[in-house]
Amino acid sequence: MTGLSDSFQRPIDYLRISVTDRCNLRCVYCMPAEGVHQLSHGDILSYEEIYAIAQAAAGLGINKIRITGGEPLVRAGLPKLIQMLSQIDTIDDISLTTNGILLAHYAEELRAAGLRRVNVSLDTLKVNRFKYITRGGDLSDVLKGIEAARSAGLNPVKINMVVIPGLNDDELLDFAAKTVAEEWHVRFIEHMPFNEGTSDSSFVSVSEIKERLAVLGELEPCSVKGNGPAKYFRLPQAKGTIGFITPVSEHFCFHCNRLRLTADGKLRPCLLSEAEIDLREPLRRGISSEELKKLIKKAVANKPRQHHLAEGHVPQDRPFSQVGG
């Protein structure tokens, strides 16, 4: 059952839900050391409210959901939400993006609740650098989380590395080598010049990353299950894959299929535009499912053609951590 498309004829079938703006890390490029102003408990959608929105969206043709944050695993009872969402018949893929710190603890429970796949953000393989980038995190927790996710069957486990010049771009070959020796699916993501911790808007483009990886052999195109804009390749004899995501050097807006729901109940048609439609207050006033669907359609109709990062437009209203990446 499909049918949701925007004013540029793009089919919209993917909803990313941020379940909290809180986080147990403070990555230097994402949050200030003291954290960001946090939403109060009453501002955050309840699981029942998230379910009502997902159900209405599914009725319009959304069939894939990704849970994100902040850090989604710091919200109490997340498996319960996964279980509720997995009961919506037409949702056929539920995935999660996490920093992995709590993943070893939750992997089995999440899988049993209906989670299919997980993406783990990991920007370095060096213990002390991990502590620096995350302002205090323990790398071994994430590595244990990745293994636990794999054992629980949350495959393919994708490892997202945001490449930041001078911070971690000397580790490109180490990450790529992991895909040869082990079944790691690593995705290199261009750093978007947003806010914290990076002094300028410089980034390493995917074409430069590919040049640097050339010493490891030819990259053969391949495919990996997923709903996003990554392009995948495999190094010779590799067990895993390498994906590239180019939000800055080559935007993928013309194929964008997604909507975003913020933790405080705003439906956001584009990560990089401030436009939002409030669903929380109408829901709390007792809006019907049909009226909810009308609001979702309105958000879809407002989806901009493309972002304007290249012209220097960066959304000012919310930190990246609140929209979920």
Which span (23-31, 127-135, 256-264, 281-289) binds ligand SAM, by CB under 6 A? 23-31
Using CB under 6 A as the binding rule, whether residue 23 contacts ligand SAM is answered as yes
Smallest separation (angstroms) from ligand SAM to the CB of 197: 9
Using CB under 6 A as the binding rule, whether residue 303 contacts ligand SAM is answered as no
Q: Which of 29, 106, 175, 233 binds ligand SAM (CB under 6 A)?
A: 29
Q: Which does residue 192 touch among ligand SAM, ligand SF4, none (CB within 5 to 8 A, set by kind)?
A: ligand SAM
Using CB under 6 A as the binding rule, whether residue 70 contacts ligand SF4 is answered as yes
Report the residue number, 72 or 269, with the smaller CB distance to ligand SF4: 72
Which span (149-157, 236-244, 251-259, 316-324) binds ligand SAM, by CB under 6 A? 316-324
Smallest separation (angstroms) from ligand SAM to the CB of 249: 13
- Cis omega (within 30 of 0) on the bond before 70? yes
Other C-beta atoms lying within 10 Å of the C-beta of residue 77: 9
Give the x/- contact pattern for ligand SAM in 153-192, rule: CB under 6 A: -------x-x--------------------------x-xx
Angle between helices 206-213 and 172-181 (to 10 degrees): 60
Q: Which does residue 246 touch among ligand SF4, ligand SAM, none (CB within 5 to 8 A, set by kind)?
A: none
Sheet of 117-121, strand order: 220-222, 231-234, 241-245, 185-190, 158-163, 117-121, 93-98, 64-68, 14-18, 258-261, 266-268, 277-278
The answer to whether residues 27 and 272 touch, using CB atoms and an 8 Å cutoff, is: no
Q: Residue 92, CB half-sphere, CA atoms under 13 Å: how many? A: 9
Angle between helices 103-113 and 139-152 (to 10 degrees): 20
The answer to whether residues 176 and 234 touch, using CB atoms and an 8 Å cutoff, is: no
- Subset of 47-106 contacting ligand SAM (CB under 6 A): 68-71, 97-99
Smallest separation (angstroms) from ligand SAM to the CB of 266: 16
Strands (E) in the chain, as ranges, are: 14-18, 64-68, 93-98, 117-121, 158-163, 185-190, 220-222, 231-234, 241-245, 258-261, 266-268, 277-278
Smallest separation (angstroms) from ligand SF4 to the CB of 75: 12
Q: Which does residue 68 touch among ligand SF4, ligand SAM, none (CB within 5 to 8 A, set by kind)?
A: ligand SAM
Per-residue tokens: 91: 């949702």
Q: Give the C-alpha separation, 85 to 63, whole Å.
A: 11
Q: Which residue has the tokens 């403070």?
A: 26
Using CB under 6 A as the binding rule, whether residue 121 contacts ligand SF4 is answered as yes
Using CB under 6 A as the binding rule, whether residue 27 contacts ligand SF4 is answered as yes
Other C-beta atoms lying within 10 Å of the C-beta of residue 175: 22
Q: Give the C-alpha separation, 12 to 64, whole Å.
A: 10
Q: Which residues bind ligand SAM (CB under 6 A)?
A: 23, 29-30, 68-71, 97-99, 121, 160, 162, 189, 191-192, 194, 320-321, 324-325
Q: Which residues bind ligand SF4 (CB under 6 A)?
A: 23, 25-27, 30-31, 69-71, 99, 121, 321
